[in-house]
């Protein structure tokens, strides 16, 4: 009988899921919301989270725990009361804590090394089905910027792994069992595609919280997308590396400094920027300095600008 070539891969995936099972949590949030007649009614939502340290810390999406009320966290068949330690609405990330010091954390990978086409697993509690549950897909694209009603999420990973309400906050794993992203079902018009927040964004969120004791968001007021070869060719540009400014928030530091839509940011503080995450990382590194130096191309000419960094406290 001819050997099934897919069986070894199937076995490896099953083992990877089994090894991750006790590190992925279902998050049940119960609260009160006003109905159309301004009457208080109980609401109940289900999301996901994953363990990042043995002493009780987990991360999830901010929108999963944004409703006030009690938070139950189910890990490996055990039930805990969860507390929000800090949150970052701009990143859609929240840090949870449960009173347990023997949890099994997942290994965090490097989202900067993601390749389009690589296999990934999304684990969570889709559609309120307490899990974890698993879906398989590939990385479809990276560096996506998505805007919805009241939010803008940048530098997202796009995948065709099934992600539904309830998956939000769960891990996106590579074939080494490393977390490369946190899935989010916040984009209601996604059809057949899902998105995940890069794990490096979450790592930097944790570093800022560890350093300052609170969530901080440095910003200058630009919405950008990676330039890439296709956009550069369409715009007849000589360079394909950099960030294309697609929007400048009126009255923001970037706007007052003279940055305009259509500008291309190619350097920040002397470092080349190719992904949206590159600019955010440099803003976070230099926010105490209060100023960032950018190299910009406009009308095929390069020039430098110094832009003040605004810092917003979140949480």
Which residues are catalytically annotated? 63, 92, 168
If we measure between CA atoms, which residue out of 158, 155, 294, 165 comes closest to residue 225?
155
Rounded-to-integer distance, Cα 215 and Cα 229, Å: 35
Q: At what angle do helices 276-285 and 199-212 cross, to 10 degrees?
A: 10
CB neighbourhood size of 286 (10 A): 16
For residue 146, what are its two tokens? Answer: 């998505």
209: its two tokens: 């919280």
Beta strands in 65-209 (DSSP E): 69-75, 78-81, 83-88, 93-97, 107-108, 119-124, 133-148, 151-159, 171-173, 178-184, 194-198
CA distances from 4 to 1, 11, 39 (A): 9, 12, 60
Instruction: Using the structure block, give the residue that is written with the tokens 């989202």.
Output: 111
Structure tokens at 113: 């090394």
């Amino acid at each position: 009988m001819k050997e099934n070539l897919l069986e070894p891969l199937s076995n490896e995936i099953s083992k990877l899921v089994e090894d991750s099972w006790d590190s992925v949590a279902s998050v049940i949030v119960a609260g009160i919301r006003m109905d159309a007649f301004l009457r208080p009614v109980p609401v109940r939502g289900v999301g996901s989270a994953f363990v990042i340290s043995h002493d009780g810390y987990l991360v999830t999406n901010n929108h999963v725990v944004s409703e006030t009320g009690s938070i139950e966290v189910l890990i490996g068949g055990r039930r805990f009361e969860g507390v929000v330690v800090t949150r970052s609405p701009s990143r859609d990330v929240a840090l949870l804590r449960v009173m347990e010091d023997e949890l099994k954390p997942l290994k965090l990978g490097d989202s900067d090394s993601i390749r389009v086409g690589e296999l990934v697993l999304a684990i969570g509690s889709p559609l309120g089905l307490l899990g974890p549950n698993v879906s398989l897909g590939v990385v479809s694209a990276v560096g996506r910027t998505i805007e919805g009603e009241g939010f803008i999420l940048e530098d997202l990973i796009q995948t065709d792994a099934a992600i539904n309400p309830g998956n939000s906050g769960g891990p996106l794993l590579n074939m080494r069992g490393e977390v490369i992203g946190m899935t989010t079902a916040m984009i209601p018009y996604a059809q057949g595609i899902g998105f995940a927040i890069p794990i490096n964004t979450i790592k930097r969120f944790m570093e800022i919280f560890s350093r300052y004791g609170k969530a901080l968001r440095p910003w200058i007021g630009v919405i950008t997308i990676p330039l890439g070869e296709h956009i550069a060719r369409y715009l007849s540009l000589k360079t394909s590396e950099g960030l294309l400014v697609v929007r400048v928030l009126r009255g923001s530091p970037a706007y007052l400094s003279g940055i305009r839509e259509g500008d291309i940011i190619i350097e920040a503080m002397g470092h080349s920027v190719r992904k949206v995450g590159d600019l955010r990382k440099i803003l976070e590194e230099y926010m105490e300095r209060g100023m960032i130096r950018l190299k910009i191309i406009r009308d095929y000419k390069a020039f430098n600008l110094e832009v003040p960094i605004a810092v917003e406290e979140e949480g």
